[in-house]
Structure 1
Amino acid sequence: MQHRFPASRHLQASLRQRNHPRNSSSSSSTSAAAVEDDEDAEIATFGAYSVILPSEPFVFGVSHITPRAVPTHIPRPPYVASLPLSKQLPGEDHRPFNGDPYSGDGRLSLGSSAERRLRNAASLAKKTLDYAGTLVKVGVTTDAIDAAVHEYIISHSAYPSPLLYSGFPKSCCTSVNNVIVHGIPDERPLEDGDIVNIDITIYLDGFHGDTSRMFLVGDVDEAGRDLVDATSEALDAGISVCGPGVKFREIGSVIHELAARRGYSVSSEFTGHGIGEVFHRPPWVLHHRNFEPEIMQPGHCFTIEPCLIQGSNPRGWIFPDGWTASTENCARSAQKEHMVLITEDGADVLTR
């Protein structure tokens, strides 16, 4: 959630219509036209799906969206508890923020109560995501999914971590088709052929649990199914290299290699992250080839969450809401996420 994209070509991308002939008044071939021809040929292989565009392109930010209420007895993460009273949910009690979120090396003591609480949070995140998946059907809105997820989380005395995180107005993220990450649940009904990522994070007993995966809506075409399958394989490849003494960059190397072999690009704008008592903190986990020197050590807990994109263009742009990240050329994107804990002799996947 730290990155912002330039909106370099989003207007022409949003106006491009598949299967429409090029205007007969186009100029003679130039190198620029040849590049555009190549791009159009690539886009033609992306399959059949609805492109997600801003529903309110002239409304900026999310201040017009009312957050859902959370019972006051449920503990809040520090980024909510430290908000001014005017920015908190109705009935919220103000508590000061304590501590530097980036202090220490991000490792927890294995076998401690902290590990137990972390595992419990991860387990609830996984159960919540499983529940969310049962709601995915043609005609259901992502806002309805968010409402149900919100109630499920608070019924387990947990807090939906995305809610009010840097102002995010909903309790989960729902990213459909060409949306890479951070899609805000809304009133658009899911359509036959959509692919949707649901990203769940919960805060329970002082620890965050974070996981996401893709869901197919109705009859998804072969190109969409292949993208989702490749993304799952990419995550598994990244997990497979994890262990004490391994450089974090190995994760990006194997994910990049698999994506390229399958004909996809990898977003370099969004990373995995350390997680525990803090939602996002080091170590940052890059999903593309990189030269980062950090080494995995016992007690490190982090997410791996690659975003694969159809075609060769991994770039994107941010909607006017300030959150929703779409691919630049409206290609479909898929993401899958697990939490990984490094142990003395290997790695445990906490959200599987």
Structure 2
Amino acid sequence: MSRSTSPLLIVVGGTDPVYRGYCVEQVAAAYPIALIDTKPPSWQEHLVVDHEVADTHDPAAVVAAGLALAERHAIAGVVTWDEYCLVPTGQLVARLGLPGNSVESMNAGRNKAASRRLFAEHHVPSATSTRVDTLEQATAAAQRTGFPVVLKPASHAASIGVIRVDTPEELPAAWEFAAVGAGDQGPEGHGVLVEEYLVGPEISVECVTVGGLTTAVAVTRKDVGFAPYFEETGHTVTAGDHLLPHVSPIAVQALRALGITDGVQHVEMRLTAAGPRIIEVNSRIGGDLIGTLVRLATGVDLPRIAADIACGNDPSLTPSAHRTAAIKILYPPADGTLTARHLSVDPGQQRPWLHQVAWLHDVGDRVALPPRGNANGRIGFLIVTPTAPLKPANGWPLSPRA
């Protein structure tokens, strides 16, 4: 591989073509990129200047791969939008002496028990939380907290192992579910958290932080289903959402508490009767194509912004659109074999509001509803961009109180 004429941006993991393909494409349009991933480039090969194969969840392996790329190219920056790659990426950034978040701040965000401690120390409104290792400890913590409670692994993502528990009788089965989920969680945190259940609509605040200064660029309103689990089944982003000025200060406060100084963040919270309260902070672009929704609704390009910040360049946060964009996730009616799939309409010039339709399973595939299927139980999704703002669904408020 010949040495590139321009400094490269290293992208660590996050190359799933369905949910992260747009990130790779938008960043590659602005910067020459190199990948560190678990396998060689395939669909994205034409976008990549160079690559290294490594275990992207292993900090030592990521650092070694990054140093190998640095021997062949000048490196401008390092970025990831994979939750499990945040700490390894932070270690590579530090080793290469590039701008970015500290390893300590990435660990603080990944370890939800550490996050809760820092939120409490900095008076950030969140949930009462206790880390436990056994059912007996979970029972005692739940009794102190008061039912309903939420059990969740300390360092997982995508709602894996997360369950609401309404009564003491439900706790043993819920513990088994959460403990199984915690068995393969990231190494940044251990055990299970027993947390206060926050009542109210769920949202996320999409943020951009440069040199410790945070700008909240969008609010994502969420559909959450399959109770007592927390499967996210849809998202809606509207430019100029009335919630933005009310929830932004809480998001900024949470990022400050964790010591996050740079990049794009996805800050999840619930709108309770007492005001917005933090669920968790993810130091990367939100999943489920939320970055696409933000771009369609506001014109703000979150992958490009993440790349600009990683390379030490000033990002553009100026909105260039003012509309609504939404994604709806499609699920089967029951567990079993998928026998048919269809929509009554297709994307095209006659339906400009239907931005994208994607199928994730073929006829003949075995499918299962959450929690058995989790994200793999999704059979497809569609993204719409109506010409008029969508009316908030499910009683979502347009004020900070539910």
Normalised to the residue count of structure 1, the TM-score between the two structures is: 0.28
Which is richer in strand? 2
Q: Which has the higher contact order (CA 8 A, sep 6+)?
A: 1
Normalised to the residue count of structure 2, the TM-score between the two structures is: 0.26
